[in-house]
């Protein structure tokens, strides 16, 4: 899931300053799970903004709406069935960066600003705890490393390790953290694939990456050709 956290309130207040009518647009998927941008978080942010702007004598009206996903054009285009976007000076999005950009594309005549900072792709470790697990490198090596990503977990991003600085299974950069390649070694040993440690993985071809990336599913390729 994409993990994000809310921007400092003063920064958000500055972003919406001067707007007479604001639509606070929530996202009901990833950012709702990480308690940053779902329906409840939208309601809290709306209340805070109303009080703060009222104290500054700003005549601002805020409305709230949360859709299923802001990274899907289908759900964004349904917004006008619920509210009239043209009634608003500004849309304050509590989605990840991808969602903010797509909302801005669909409503390109409106000011769209982010309420969150997108941090990483991660997993839930427990209530209120998320950790990064994937860098979206487009060249997954998890089959060779026991399901542990060296690009993300290793502080140096080494695809062939460990480095010479690891000590007693701990990271040279942060001795409080386990060495990624010690974790990989132990996992491969546990699942009977320790021979994979003898393989040398090719270096990442970062220079060959093209941004922004785009994928068209085979089943839909003819439609877009």
Q: What does the pLDDT look like over 153-184, one tens digit per residue? A: 999 999 999 999 999 999 999 999 999 999 99
Same structural domain, 23 and 59: yes
Strands across the sheet containing 111-114: 61-67, 21-27, 90-93, 111-114
Same structural domain, 99 and 48: yes
Of the three residues 120, 150, 184, the one that is the final residue of a domain is: 120
Tokens of 112: 């769209």
Same structural domain, 7 and 70: yes
Same structural domain, 57 and 115: yes
Q: In whole angstroms, how far apart are CA 214 and each of 44, 120, 133, 209, 210?
A: 35, 19, 22, 11, 9
Q: Select from 166, 190, 191, 192 the least CA-distant residue to 180.
A: 166
pLDDT tens for the chain, 225 residues: list them.
999 999 999 999 999 999 999 999 999 999 999 999 999 999 999 999 999 999 998 889 999 999 999 999 999 999 999 999 999 999 999 999 999 999 999 999 999 999 999 999 999 999 999 999 999 888 899 999 999 999 999 999 999 999 999 999 999 999 999 999 999 999 999 999 999 999 999 887 766 556 677 778 787 777 776
Number of separate domains in the chain: 2
Q: Which domain holds residue 197?
A: 136-208
Same structural domain, 142 and 35: no
Q: Is residue 40 part of a domain?
A: yes
């Amino acid at each position: 899931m994409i993990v994000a956290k809310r921007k400092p309130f003063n920064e958000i207040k500055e972003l919406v300053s001067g707007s007479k009518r604001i639509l606070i647009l929530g996202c009901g998927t990833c950012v709702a799970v990480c308690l940053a941008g779902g329906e409840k978080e939208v309601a809290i942010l709306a209340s805070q903004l109303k009080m703060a702007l009222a104290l500054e004598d700003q005549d601002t009206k805020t409305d709230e709406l949360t859709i299923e996903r802001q990274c899907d054009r289908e759900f964004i285009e349904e917004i006008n069935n619920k509210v009239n976007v043209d009634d608003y000076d500004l849309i304050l999005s509590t989605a990840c960066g991808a969602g903010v950009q797509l909302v801005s594309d669909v409503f390109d005549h409106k000011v769209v600003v982010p309420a969150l900072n997108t941090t990483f792709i991660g997993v839930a470790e427990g209530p209120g705890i998320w950790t990064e697990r994937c860098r979206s490198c487009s060249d997954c090596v998890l089959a060779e490393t026991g399901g542990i990503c060296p690009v993300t977990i290793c502080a140096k991003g080494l695809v062939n390790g460990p480095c010479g600085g690891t000590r007693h299974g701990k990271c040279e950069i942060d001795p409080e953290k386990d060495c990624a390649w010690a974790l990989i070694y132990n996992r491969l040993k546990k699942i009977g694939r320790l021979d994979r440690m003898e393989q040398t993985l090719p270096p990442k071809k970062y220079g060959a990456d093209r941004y922004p990336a785009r994928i068209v599913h085979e089943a839909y390729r003819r439609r877009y050709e």
